[in-house]
């Protein structure tokens, strides 16, 4: 600043004007605001091209390969909202954006994900997308992993990458059987549709979830979604681990898909008040319902514990359901939740089991939720219920 203050003549004026141009855009706004607006316009054109299925218009915004990977996905909405722009040099910027999209016929509200884009400017001063990827710590979208293949079922939409059409069709069969099975147990007051994502491998599953692969090794599938979501919540996604799924038999595969579909159906009644022993146990109860599987077949880890004199002293805690922990402990937690729900269905009736689940969720907060629902719906206290469940374990597994 001192050097500039001592300057004299037209050269100093020219320098001042140049600095002003670099620092200030039209209307007195910072130049980054102008660039941000330009980037937003590029992404608006890109989104319009996606919805219009216009590959040429999409290619005009840059990175045409991305369109090929996701062109088969049936979309009802697709839009970007630029949240920040960072300079990457005179001809490049990095942009943070929120991508919102809806799958037609399945999502009642947009799924919103954080994305990072790199844009470059050509000699004609036109910005174009050079790359797009998940923001830091955000999960991938399926099309980030390759070209998406789509198979439609009666009650399902299966999207896969790196999988054969025959395998994807097998998942529509599983899902199409799961949906009516869940409705028979839970009722029909839910979307009665399920979206299944089948990546190429365990690593692909983990990338979709934004977590290490070690967290899901041996886990056949998980369901994502908003707990306590209202009618405008976006549809859940059932994400498959194809490595673990491949080792299951036909009954096991159906139980898993029905279990995950149950989570989709019960999502609006599941919230912070719902313990995992109830949400996972109920989903397993629906999954096993009608299969003829006996407790010793469905709960081998818990059976071993009971026979070794290690009957659980209380219902499984949420911490017992950690994927990264001891596999036997995790199995006992699921089996414990299932046997508790099975006992309710047998001794109080299936309608009471459903009512109990909903009553717990209606409480909204964990403290007192289970106790209150047991008293109002089942006419028992938690301590008495736990003692009865322990005896049930001895009777069924001892």
User: In whole angstroms, what is the distance from residue 274 CA to residue 279 CA?
Assistant: 7
- Number of neighbouring beta carbons within 10 Å of residue 326: 11
Q: What was the pLDDT predicted at 279?
A: 97
Q: Report, as an integer, the average pLDDT of 19-36.
A: 47
Fold of 141-263: Zincin-like (3.30.2010)
Does the pLDDT at position 15 exceed 50? no
Contact 156/194 with Cβ under 8 angstroms?
yes
What is the rounded CA–CA span in Å between residue 65 and residue 277? 45
Q: CA-CA distance, 344 to 338, in Å (whole number)?
A: 10
Exposed/middle/buried for residue 26 (C-beta within 10 Å: 0-12, 13-18, 19+):
exposed
Provide the 8-state DSSP code for 61.
T
Specify the pLDDT at position 170. Answer: 97
Residues of each domain in the chain carrying CATH 3.10.450.50:
25-138
Confidence of residue 231 (pLDDT cuts 50, 70, 90): low
DSSP output for 220-282: -EEEE--TT--TTSPPPEEEE-HHHHTTS-HHHHHHHHHHHHHHHHHGGG-STTS-HHHHHHH
- C-alpha distances (whole Å) from 299 to each of 262, 266, 288, 385 are 19, 23, 11, 20
Other Cβ atoms less than 10 A from the Cβ of 101: the count is 22
Phi-psi map region of 74: left, alpha, beta (phi>0 left; psi -120 to 50 alpha): beta
Task: Measure the CA–CA gap between 228 and 270, rounded to whole angstroms.
Answer: 5
Taking CB atoms within 8 Å and a gap of at least 24, the contacts of 328-332 are: 328/301, 331/300, 331/301, 331/302, 332/301, 332/302, 332/305
Q: Is the pLDDT of residue 227 over 70?
A: no
**Token pair belonging to 171:** 């998942």
At residue 19 the predicted structure's pLDDT band, cuts being 50, 70 and 90, is: very low
Q: Judge whether 237 and 197 are in contact, CB under 8 Å.
A: yes
Place of tokens 């081998």: 300
pLDDT for 331 beyond 50: yes
The segment(s) of the chain belonging to CATH 3.30.2010.30 are 141-263
Helix, strand, or coil here: 333? helix
Residue with tokens 């007051």: 189
pLDDT at site 125: 74
- pLDDT greater than 60 at residue 31: no
pLDDT band at 311 (very low <50, low <70, confident <90, very high): very high
Q: Is the pLDDT of residue 391 over 70?
A: yes
Q: Hey, which residues does 224 pair with through a beta bridge?
A: 237
CB of 315 within 8 A of CB of 277? Answer: yes
The secondary element (H helix, E strand) that includes residue 337 is: helix 327-347
pLDDT (tens digit per residue) in 312-329: 999 999 999 987 768 899
Identify the three-state secondary structure at position 284: helix
Backbone torsions φ then ψ of 30, nearest 5 degrees: -60, 150
Distance in angstroms (rounded) separating the CA atoms of residues 57 and 267: 39
Kindly report, residue by residue over 65-104, the tens digit of the pLDDT: 999 999 999 999 999 999 999 987 778 999 999 999 999 9
Question: Over pLDDT 90: what percentage of the chain?
Answer: 81
Do residues 334 and 278 make contact, with C-beta atoms less than 8 angstroms apart?
no
Q: Per CATH, is 25-138 categorized as 3.30.413.10?
A: no
Structure tokens at 325: 């922990």
User: How far is 342 from 358, CA to CA, in rounded Å?
Assistant: 16
Strand duo 127-134 + 149-152: pairing: unpaired
Quote the pLDDT of residue 22: 31
Whole-number average pLDDT of the chain: 90
Would you state the pLDDT for residue 28?
Answer: 31
218-232, 255-269, 270-284: least confidently modelled range:
218-232
- pLDDT on residue 228: 65
Q: What pLDDT shows up at residue 139? A: 95
Residue 24 has pLDDT above 70, yes or no: no
Supply the pLDDT for residue 124: 67
Query: Whole-prediction pTM value?
Result: 0.88
Rg (CA), the chain: 27
Percent pLDDT > 70 in the chain is 89
């Amino acid at each position: 600043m001192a050097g500039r203050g001592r300057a004299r003549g037209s050269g100093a004026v020219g320098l001042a004007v140049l600095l002003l141009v670099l620092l200030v855009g039209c209307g007195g706004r910072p130049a980054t605001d102008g660039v941000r607006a330009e980037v937003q316009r590029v992404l608006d054109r890109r989104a319009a091209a996606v919805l219009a299925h216009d590959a040429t218009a999409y290619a005009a915004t840059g990175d045409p390969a991305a369109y090929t990977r996701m062109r088969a996905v049936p979309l009802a909405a697709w839009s970007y909202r630029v949240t920040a722009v960072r300079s990457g040099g005179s001809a490049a910027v990095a942009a943070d954006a929120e991508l919102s999209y809806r799958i037609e016929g399945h999502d009642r509200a947009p799924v919103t994900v954080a994305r990072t884009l790199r844009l470059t400017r050509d000699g004609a001063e036109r910005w174009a997308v050079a790359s797009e990827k998940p923001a830091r710590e955000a999960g991938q979208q399926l099309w980030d992993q390759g070209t998406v293949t789509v198979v439609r079922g009666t009650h399902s939409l299966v999207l896969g990458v790196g999988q054969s059409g025959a395998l994807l069709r097998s998942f529509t069969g599983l899902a199409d059987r799961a949906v009516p099975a869940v409705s028979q147990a839970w009722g029909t007051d839910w979307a009665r549709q399920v979206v299944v994502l089948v990546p190429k491998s365990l690593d692909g599953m983990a990338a979709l979830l934004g977590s290490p692969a070690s967290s899901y090794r041996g886990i056949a599938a998980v369901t994502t979604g908003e707990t306590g979501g209202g009618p405008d919540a976006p549809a859940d996604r059932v994400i498959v681990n194809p490595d673990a799924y491949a080792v299951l038999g036909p009954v096991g595969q159906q139980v898993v898909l029905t279990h995950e579909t149950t989570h989709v159906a019960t999502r609006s009644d599941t919230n912070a008040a719902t313990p995992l022993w109830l949400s996972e146990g109920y989903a397993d109860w629906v999954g096993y319902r009608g299969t003829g599987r006996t407790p010793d077949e469905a709960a081998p880890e818990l059976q071993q514990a009971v026979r070794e004199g290690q009957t659980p002293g209380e219902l499984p805690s949420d911490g017992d359901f950690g994927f990264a922990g001891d596999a036997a402990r995790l199995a006992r937690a699921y089996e414990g939740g299932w046997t508790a729900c099975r006992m309710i269905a047998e001794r109080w009736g299936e309608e009471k089991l459903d009512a109990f689940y909903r009553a717990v969720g209606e409480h909204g907060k964990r403290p007192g939720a289970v106790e209150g629902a047991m008293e109002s719906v089942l006419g028992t206290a938690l301590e008495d219920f736990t003692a009865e469940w322990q005896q049930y374990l001895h009777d069924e597994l001892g």
